[in-house]
Amino acid sequence: MEDKQIKQFINEHQKLINDNELIKDLCIIKEHNNSRLFDIPYLDFKKSNDYITLNAYYESVELKDTEIKISGPIDGIVYKDIDIHNLFLSSVLNEKYENILKRVCNIIYKNGNESYLKTWNKSDLIKNKITVFLSKYMSFLKTKIYNKSYKIKASNISDVLICIKRKISLHSYKMFSENRFGNADIIITNCVIGSLLLDDISFEFDNIKNDKINYSHNGIYYVGKYLNCKLFIDPYLKYDDNSIYLITSPKNDSPGIRYIYNGNNSNLQTIRDNGFGIKYILNTTDYIDYVGSNNLMIDKICIDMPKNIF
């Protein structure tokens, strides 16, 4: 493979990271070309006595190596009018895109489940301080109100959509009151609830330009706007997993998911596999995780759907 093709591929790889709208919606992308260990600065609110202050924090992280492998064509086989190398290089880019997106989604689902399962510690009841008990009791009530499975008692789709809309709006305002960086502006759900939201009058189709289409056709995808939120559907979420994940997209130095990569440490290798073909190996150095002392930018709703609605 020529050096010109490798250089062009690395440029395409950089473009994939920096210009992909879906990745930019879900996390903050930054390039770090120095040491593997470094500090990520972020801003967060802290409540102290009767006032709230915006403070600067740092979180120490480490860039790690990621390897993507794709098996290429068998040596000696000629494909007429087909650029074999470019064909398999596109497969490498697609695999890298899915790798990033899968890691981001796993963080969203993990943090969403943690937010959903937040509850009080019953052992605190034995403490003598009445203020501790009251604080935990109020936290318990809030958990019961917001985080329990929301059972919808409705006999038609219209009533179901009204209930879902009410729940999303309630949680969105709750997130804003807690994180103070904004309401939820991204929704991720499965195909079942997604199909219901697409039929609601509050759903708005959005123009999708050709240059904004994702590389992958197998993962999470954007369908439009619902209640001023970008609506994404993840086909990998189970059919009976009626969860709705709400995300306040990170802005500038707010808490949220960070994707940090070393642009100078991306390289592509082609290795001949003893006559069986060519292996394309993409080596990159990056970091993906949630940055912040608390998990207030991601939330989850569980909908207990009526069984007779479909």
Closest CA to 13 of 63, 58, 68, 57: 68
User: For residue 269, what is the enclosing H or E element?
Assistant: strand 267-272
Lowest-confidence region among 41-45, 125-129, 233-237, 252-256:
125-129
What pLDDT digit, counting tens, does each position of 113-133 carry? Answer: 888 877 444 443 444 455 555
Output the domain CATH number for residue 293.
Answer: 3.90.1690
**Residue 160 — very low, low, confident or very high, per pLDDT cuts 50/70/90?**
confident
**Residue 257 — very low, low, confident or very high, per pLDDT cuts 50/70/90?**
very high
> How many structural domains compose the chain?
1
User: For residue 279, what is the enclosing H or E element?
Assistant: strand 278-291
- Assess if residue 293 is contained within a domain: yes
What pLDDT digit, counting tens, does each position of 192-230 carry? Answer: 899 999 989 999 988 765 544 444 556 888 999 999 999
Whole domain around residue 199: which residue ranges?
3-115+154-304
Closest CA to 280 of 288, 289, 272: 272
- Assess if residue 126 is contained within a domain: no
β-pairing verdict for 267-272 and 229-233: unpaired
pTM: 0.83
- Assess if residue 144 is contained within a domain: no
What pLDDT digit, counting tens, does each position of 63-93 carry? Answer: 999 999 888 766 555 566 666 677 777 888 8
Phi, psi (rounded to 5 degrees) for 54: -100, 115
Q: What is the mean pLDDT of residues 92-118?
A: 89
pLDDT at site 72: 73
Asked if the model's pLDDT at residue 134 lies above 90, the reply is no
Any idea of the CA torsion for 7, 11, 16, 17, to the nearest 10 degrees?
110
